[in-house]
Structure 1
Amino acid sequence: MCNLTLLTEGGNDAGVDGIHISEVDDGEFAVTIFQGKYKVKDLRGVANFPENGVQKAVNTVATLFDPAKKIELNDRIAPRVEEIRSLVRDGYIPTVRVVFCNNGAKWNDQAQNWIDQSGFADDQVIWIHYNHDSIVDVLQRKKTVDDSVYLQGKAVIEDFNFRRVLVGKVAVTEIAEFFNRHSDLLLERNVRRYLGLHSNRVNSAIHETLVNKEKKGNFYFLNNGITMICKKFRHNALQGENYQLKLEGMQIINGGQTCKTIQQTLYPSQKQLFDESFENVYVLLHIYELSEDDQDFVRDITYATNSQNPVDLRDLRSNDEIQKQLEIGIKDLGFTYKRKREEGGGGSSVITSSIVAESVLAIWRKRPQQAKFRRKEHFGKLYNVIFNELNAAQALLATMIFRHVENERKRPSMANPPIFLPYASHYISMLVGRKLLADKNLQLSDIDHRNFKNIHDHFESKKSDYHLK
């Protein structure tokens, strides 16, 4: 059933008939633009997608994703474009798919020239043709991948609950070659497509490990591995190790991001093998041999292997020296600092590391937009920005300011609060912090445990006035 909120067709639609914007994932978001053409008089299905339609789409992409360019748009598409531009202004990276739909053939060579001359990066803007044949192909085709994989060293192979299981290790070069041969056919049962190499934190870390001369030899220990299912696998059981496996109907259900990152690291832009040697770099491999009537079980495995509780970056940073020092310093000031996620233990005297990060980034680091919209990166890319040279008194004071402003947002004391109040907590908090420092004639570096009580008491007596101003 069609989602009408995605449709944008009408006057001043910039040649866009539909648009979909994904959620932000690790600094990146996807935008899919649809343009449709339908031949009423010629139903032979041979007419090319109009050249001028392709040219218009090229111009549209160049305009929509540049916040500096002005464009007149109808009421259907204007809010969606402003949403895109707002994300771009905040530093998020868009990946764009332009889908041309018609009841005829693909665009002609001249139209392809418009695409080639656009200058858009191939990994950021993808051009797709979709027609009646595509629909039939999706409905009818049954994709299957049959291939062989060479395992290194010993492997565990056993029958378990009427199914066969294999655990072993495989060279990353073997995985890269797999994807060179079969591409995304191996990921049809995977829960998501590739999230990118440079904009995705986890994939960037995988890449950095692979190209690091000291670390890449330990890649097997540093990566969670790959989970694969197949209809059948065969090997020479007379061998004790180094099996050559023959697999039928293979699919990767977990570890797709690892596989694609390996491929793009070893074969950048589908060029020659990366300069460094990867002969002794391995990754863990699980293979489950499942029958045709195990489809429900396949779904269970896919869900389970992709939905277990992840380790939050906050937890990974919890044992850093700065976090331990903050815990001690905040305790000396009469509060409890929680470095790790855990249940219970709330109250006004309890301060979590996540609220400290959000408050400090908005108030003292003067980045309210990143405090609000980039919470996933507070203990990642923004960690050093937030916590470097931060002491307990500064952290506590920022938290007190932000808590007060948030309370005013939730339960306004003003009779007629301004309409922007529900959206402005982080920015207002920054202004309150600025006013507090000015009133006390202090720099941020002047705040420490010696004058914390005096500054805190002053804030408590003036906080309502600060917020009102």
Structure 2
Amino acid sequence: MHAKYQILIDILDKIRSEVKASEPSYNKYNPISTDVEKVNQARAKAFIHLFLKVSFGILEFQEREACIADGTQDGGIDGYYINKDNKTIYFIQSKFRINEKNFEGKEIALEEILTMDVNRILDGETADEKGIEYNGKIKQLQREITELDNIGRYSYQVIILANLSGWTDSKLRQLTGGFATEVFDYEKTYTKLIFPMISGTFYNATDLNINIDLSNKNAGSKISYTVLTKKGECEITVLFVPTIEIGRIMNKYKNSVLKYNPRSYLDLEGKKVNTAITETIISKETNEFALFNNGITMLSDETLINEKIGQKNKAQLVVKNPQIINGGQTSYTLSRIYEMYKNTNVEEVFENKEVLLKVITLLDKNDEQGKIELIEEISTATNQQTPVIGADKFANDSINLKIQKVLFDRYGLLFERKRGEFADGIFHNYIIEKQIIERNLFFRMYYSANGNVDKGRQKKLFMKQDFVEETLDDTKKLDNAYFGYLCFRKLYKAKHHNQAVDRITYAKVRVLTLLHKPQKIEDYQKSIDDNIERFDNNWKNFYSKITKHSRYLISYKDKKTGEQKERSNFNPTKYFDSPELISDSKDYY
């Protein structure tokens, strides 16, 4: 099974496990594992959950389940969502395929789309054209629509979660009864649903609301002032906010508000800091956290604060298009604590604990490049708790974003351009670590597998790589890199566990790629499994013969004895990048 489809299945199964055993829908989502048909039906429903979770940030299972209309007499509507923020009502038609081949190749039948009774339902009809009553979920949808304020301002959109090719927007409107339609085929599912899910970027914040407790702020809730920088004017707002609010926000938006941050959540590297944060929140009843923590720096397009919201000792902070550029570790750790206690005593755990928040509002909205440069400077200057290493500064370069997309689309491989980028996916068991390729390792495999072993051994490749966009169009070289990576993973596990990787390993990657890479990607792993042990067992003998080859022997006269002797001038660095390696390995193996 291809890696991307397997990730999809793992996510759907994880979603199924979110339903509590006490809920009425538990058995529907968790049938006996040997009942394949019911398991597939459960995954089909979880597929709609996935769309709702990623597209609208609905984290709670039961809230999503209320939007699932799948069943008999559903008017051809498998799910729906009323988005009160953008005033749009979504009608979902889904066709989940139970194997990879069909998921990526089989299209939805037009008859299934034509069964969608969107117009009849919106017209208030309670039965289909045959006079058979719609089910309770559809009638619930109708009730929710009638209760909406300003219904005249709402628009309607059909979402098709299935393959459907060759249809223009105007033709799709005709097919769905005149409604705007968006198709999530298999490619869009992988890029717009699966990848955001495993990288924690699945819901983008536009306007964030943060509640502030003013009860102990005798001097007022905030300090605001304007500063002039070489990138233009900025307004800075500094205030203390409840840690529970940061935990709540990060639990929902995750890495979506860390896009400009040079790294994501460092689960292992930041363990000492994360543990200290957790201890201070959980074990202390007083507000030492406000003293111990350096705080959070957030970038915003617009910042508003209202201290008159009709609640005593309360205020509300509104930030538009927020991005946390410093304090990501703090924010993410607070979200983990929030997730841990949200169904028990979360208010008690976070009570009276606050964190310093500095919101920088860039007044020049048009200078995107200046914005990015300022972010880099602020991040470098303000980070103390978990240092930003040099390579982190290159994480958001456009070429690395493109490499990430290509590797995921073609191989289902997760290129970790930002440290900790996939920590959320690992934490929730959507993925496992071996599906992630560390950023420097990709470049080492690319250069080594394509005949530049010496460059593959260089340090800090991620920082100084000279990749150009056209390189990504050479699928043969990319395939070499991927095959080389699979070889490396097998070799390193077998021979070099917990040891430094030497040039020999990279040379082996090159030779294995030359000798054993099949035409089809799906055959790569089998070829490695069939050949690598024999190859590795014979390498020592092969290498020994090469170093003693006559072409590397130089005759010389011993000055003391006058005898003619021979010595080898074999240079491994030059040899591993030479044509001789190709011919010698082919002859020997």
The two structures have a TM-score, normalised by structure 2, of 0.30
Structure in which a larger fraction of residues adopt helix:
2
Looking at CA atoms only, which structure, 1 or 2, has the larger radius of gyration? 2
Normalization by structure 1: what TM-score? Answer: 0.37
